[in-house]
Structure 1
Amino acid sequence: MASLKVNANLFIVRLTILSILMLFQVYLITAQTSLKEIDLENGHYNVGFRHYTTSDSTRTYSRIYDYTKAKVARPISVSMWYPSRQNVEGLEPLQVVDYFEILKEEEEWEHLPNEQLLNWFYYTNTPENQKHLEEKTTAYASAEFGKGKFPVIIYAPSFQASSIENFALCEYLASHGFVVMSSPSKGTETRWFGNNNAKEMETQARDVEFLMKEAGKFPMVDYDRMAIMGFSFGGLSNIIVQNRNDHVKAVVSLDGTERYQYGLLNRSPFFDAGKIDVPYIHMAQKDIPEIVLKEDQIDAELNSRFQLYDSISNSKSYRLKFHDLTHSYFSSLGVLFAHRDPRQDKSDPEIMESYKWVAAYTLNFIEATLNQDKKASEFIENGPLANGMAKSLVTQTIKQPKIRKFNFQDFNDLALAKNYENLHQLYDSILKSHPSFKMQEGDLNMLGLQLVFNPNRSSQGIHVFKLAITLFPNSFNLYDSLAEGYLYLGEKEKAIESFEKSLELNSQNQNAISRLEQLKK
């Protein structure tokens, strides 16, 4: 039986590629935890849960254990937690074993008997873990969707992990009014990653983007309030997603691998630290003890080095180090099922307490960034002691973004919002706040022409040119462009007047000479 286990090869791959992050796999002892003892404080919504499979027809995929060359459209397994107002009295919530049914499906072992679950996947078959399978969660299958619009969080799992690996955190966020959607982390060609982690990072990023589009299909989702959250390898993919998607308004990293493998991020043609311009929070594991660094041959700089965080300059960034958590305990399955490493792991009560605080910081960060909740903002800005945490639990640092100079794009965004009306007044108000701002003649001329030749915005282009000639009264080119605008609008007399003014400023302006000859015939 042991020779048939799905996880044998996966175990070797994980230890080889991400040994730094999966230290809990060695020197094992039994965990004693429960959902009840974690005691996450759910919000006032009941939690609905739905799971379904769709596909991305732009990519192909092979089911590895079918042992066939046949290709199918890439299957996307979707787990979705959401707020519900349904009366759940008399209904039975999901059990943890129900989430393991999804794990079986995503590992492509749908028909595996449940009594084999803990023999087959990741975790030891102990009496304690058998009890975890029987535990009740706070989610109800296919409960009614809540009415109204809710912000959405897209979750990216860890290295080759299931969509349900952080189910307790996802339920917790849904109970507080957020839709959470997740799909498994799986390879480009098959369920398992290949040897090119840069390619697999891009694949997971595309899966996250697929889920973002999928979220837009649900009327209850507020697409303008979207955050992405990832654990471990999912953190890498999420940075790529944020870099190329303006809909992402915040990033939550649960000990994301972007801390450990900045070089891998740099292999992506889409990565640019300067494009991280939304609030970012990274919650990191404890310092790895010296004995573990030595015995497992880990670079000691990983305890202090964080190149991505140091490179962020255009957004506010938060960094928290949880002194009682090693890497695996940033997930629900890790807290409940993972073995403990006696060289470094804290006690189960300490691990559960810290996981609860991870959930609290995640919730308050999302409330502050997506809902502009004042109380949540204060929580995030406070030191841990002010939030009621023991001093030994966490260390927090906050980095402010560099002050960015006001530029022409900023001006245009403000002008567009006002339909390009009262531009002189807008410009004066901008100078009061940004006295160093300099308007460029060429920018105004190009913007004016773009607008004036747009039949729906022609008059707005004239407004731009009027501001431009006030700022640059000796520019023959601006008068020439204004004249072209009037001519396009059919205002012949004003066009002649502006062409003549252009010629006064530059008698060699051939365009004005030719236009006037035509207009005066």
Structure 2
Amino acid sequence: MRVILSMMFCLACTAARAESLFTFSNMPGLHGVGVRVVKQYDRTRTFTLQQGMLASVFSKQENRGRPIQTVIWYPAEKGGQGVRYDDYLQLVGWETDPERSPKERARTVDAWLQMVTEGKRRKQVESERRRRMWAVRDAVPKAGKYPVVIYAPSINNTTFENADIAEFLASHGYIVIAAPTIGETSRWIKKDLKHAELQVDDIRFLIDYARTLPQADMTRVAVAGFSWGGLSNVLAAAKDERIKALVCMDGAVRYFNSIVTQAKYAVPEKLRTPLLFLAQTPASMEENIRYKEDMSGSFMSRMSNADVYLLTMYPMEHVHFGSAYIRLDDPAEYKEYTPEEVSFAYSLGARYILNFLNGYLKNDGAGLAYLANRPVANGAAPHSMKMEYMPRQGKR
């Protein structure tokens, strides 16, 4: 009887996994993971929400300052039940207005899911909403001081788009803090320098906030960013010497050189902050021409006074650098690589991020040695990844 029940349990688990496109294959570190959400405003800036896209689900508000929905993942004592993924989805409901009613929040979440999935894949979405995560809400913080990683999301996106990496880093002794990417007077931003600098100021606000956390070691601060956030974090580092390391997950600093060059303070030769750049599979020349990609220059190649690591990940399309999008993706979009291969590449990318941060924030020789390995020695499938190392001047 026990054998039959065990087989039924395994079959149920297999069916549950089959409904998801995403599997995070990394094991947690030594620490438990806590998550806390803080409602706060940057009173030095204004924000009055105007009507626009999805206007029917956004309530108007008086100006209280710029809302900064702040999510903190941190090393915690072990124990307790992890949040469901739906707890992260609920954050969408009040990104621009913490005072929104429960009914308005629910409508906003539903509208966001409708937009992301085009109203399809209901079974897949419901399965993801039920999945348990590592983080325990308001868990007891672990004693000690830990490096801080500010996470900058992609354009118009959420605090939790890479919750899996945030939880992974917290389990290995990092505090990760994120806020959504929002515009000046609406949920939406534009692809220009002004809106990039909005996120720059959000990053610096979160660094200031981190100083209030007893666990935070403010001598060891990094900023990670995906896509648009991987442009804003580079601009932030050019302005803020507190930032000691940068991670760009297919960062827009590579694709919007004309915007970066408008920021006269962001001189690549003067930037001394080490950078890890995780890159999508290269586009063909025909694709670059078709989509009018900005090929006017390379910020990274001019960073002559900083160590730069460029990891090209052939299974990864741009959207795959956000685990939220893998979870809610359309299975029909997978062609050359399978969801399992993409999930594994994402998980391996998380290990690269951890080892890079260990190397540059914790002075860990093993982390630097990991970066120096051929990707296949770190578990990558043969010919699936390529690492290029561009050392700072004097190290060549």
TM-score (normalizing by structure 1):
0.66
Q: Give how far 1:377 is off.
A: 1.1
Q: Counterpart of 2:232 in 1: which secondary structure?
A: helix
Could you say which residue in structure 1 is the equivalent of 2:215? Answer: 220
Change (3 A) 1:130 1:206: same
Could you say which residue in structure 2 is the equivalent of 1:311? Answer: 302
Contact 1:289–1:344 (8 Å) recurs in 2? no
Q: Give how far 1:38 is off.
A: 2.2
Q: Which amino acid aligns with 1:274?
A: E
Could you say which residue in structure 1 is the equivalent of 2:82? Answer: 93
Match of 2:155 among 143, 159, 180: 159
Match of 1:131 among 127, 132, 135: 127
Could you say which residue in structure 2 is the equivalent of 1:229? Answer: 224
Work out the CA distance in 2 between the residues paired with 1:51 and 1:343: 34
Q: Give how far 1:288 is off.
A: 2.5
Change (3 A) 1:74 1:301: closer
Q: Counterpart of 1:122 in 2: which secondary structure?
A: helix
Contact 1:188–1:199 (8 Å) recurs in 2? no
Match of 1:328 among 308, 312, 319: 319
Change (3 A) 1:290 1:339: farther
Could you say which residue in structure 2 is the equivalent of 1:84? Answer: 76
Q: Counterpart of 2:70 in 1: which secondary structure?
A: strand
Instruction: Trace 1:379-398 onto structure 2 (pairs within 5 A).
Output: 379-398=370-389
Structure 2, unmatched stretches of 5+, are 1-17
Change (3 A) 1:301 1:368: same
Q: Which amino acid aligns with 2:34?
A: G
Could you say which residue in structure 2 is the equivalent of 1:49? Answer: 35
| Percent identity of paired positions between Structure 1 and Structure 2 | 26
- Pairwise CA RMSD of aligned residues? 2.4
Q: Give how far 1:210 is off.
A: 0.2
Contact 1:326–1:345 (8 Å) recurs in 2? no
Instruction: Trace 1:468-483 onto structure 2 (pairs within 5 A).
Output: none
Could you say which residue in structure 2 is the equivalent of 1:150? Answer: 146
Work out the CA distance in 2 between the residues paired with 1:362 and 1:343: 25
Change (3 A) 1:120 1:357: same
Instruction: Trace 1:444-459 onto structure 2 (pairs within 5 A).
Output: none
Instruction: Trace 1:187-202 onto structure 2 (pairs within 5 A).
Output: 187-194=183-190, 197-202=192-197
Q: Which amino acid aligns with 2:370?
A: F
Contact 2:67–2:96 (8 Å) recurs in 1? no
Could you say which residue in structure 2 is the equivalent of 1:433? Answer: none
Instruction: Trace 1:256-271 onto structure 2 (pairs within 5 A).
Output: 256-271=251-266
TM-score (normalizing by structure 2):
0.86
Q: Which amino acid aligns with 2:360?
A: T
Could you say which residue in structure 1 is the equivalent of 2:198? Answer: 203
Q: Give how far 1:225 is off.
A: 0.6
Does 1:284 pair with 2:271?
no
Q: Give how far 1:119 is off.
A: 4.7
Q: Counterpart of 1:41 in 2: which secondary structure?
A: coil
Q: Give how far 1:62 is off.
A: 1.2
Could you say which residue in structure 2 is the equivalent of 1:412? Answer: none
Work out the CA distance in 2 between the residues paired with 1:69 and 1:53: 15
Instruction: Trace 1:420-439 onto structure 2 (pairs within 5 A).
Output: none
Work out the CA distance in 1 between the residues paired with 2:287 and 2:131: 33
Which structure is richer in relative contact order (CA contacts within 8 A, separation 6 or more)? 2
Could you say which residue in structure 1 is the equivalent of 2:20? Answer: 33
Contact 1:48–1:143 (8 Å) recurs in 2? yes
Q: Give how far 1:63 is off.
A: 2.4
Match of 2:114 among 114, 120, 139: 120
**Count of residue correspondences:** 365
Change (3 A) 1:203 1:62: same
Could you say which residue in structure 2 is the equivalent of 1:172? Answer: 168
Provide, for residues 196-235 of structure 1, a one-character-per-residue CA deviation record: whole Å limited to 9, x for no partner. Answer: 6110001100000000000010111000011110000001
Contact 1:161–1:185 (8 Å) recurs in 2? yes
Provide, for residues 345-380 of structure 1, a one-character-per-residue CA deviation record: whole Å limited to 9, x for no partner. Answer: 621011101001110100000011000111111001
Q: Counterpart of 1:82 in 2: which secondary structure?
A: strand
Provide, for residues 263-286 of structure 1, a one-character-per-residue CA deviation record: whole Å limited to 9, x for no partner. Answer: 101112321112220211101000
Provide, for residues 46-89 of structure 1, a one-character-per-residue CA deviation record: whole Å limited to 9, x for no partner. Answer: 1000011111111000123567584221111101000012x41x
Contact 1:291–1:343 (8 Å) recurs in 2? no
Structure 1, unmatched stretches of 5+, are 1-30, 405-521
Contact 2:93–2:106 (8 Å) recurs in 1? no
Contact 1:33–1:348 (8 Å) recurs in 2? no
Work out the CA distance in 2 between the residues paired with 1:362 and 1:69: 39
Contact 1:249–1:370 (8 Å) recurs in 2? yes
Q: Give how far 1:142 is off.
A: 0.2
Could you say which residue in structure 2 is the equivalent of 1:447? Answer: none
Q: Give how far 1:344 is off.
A: 5.8
Could you say which residue in structure 1 is the equivalent of 2:7? Answer: none
Q: Give how far 1:190 is off.
A: 2.3
Change (3 A) 1:118 1:135: farther
Work out the CA distance in 2 between the residues paired with 1:339 and 1:106: 25
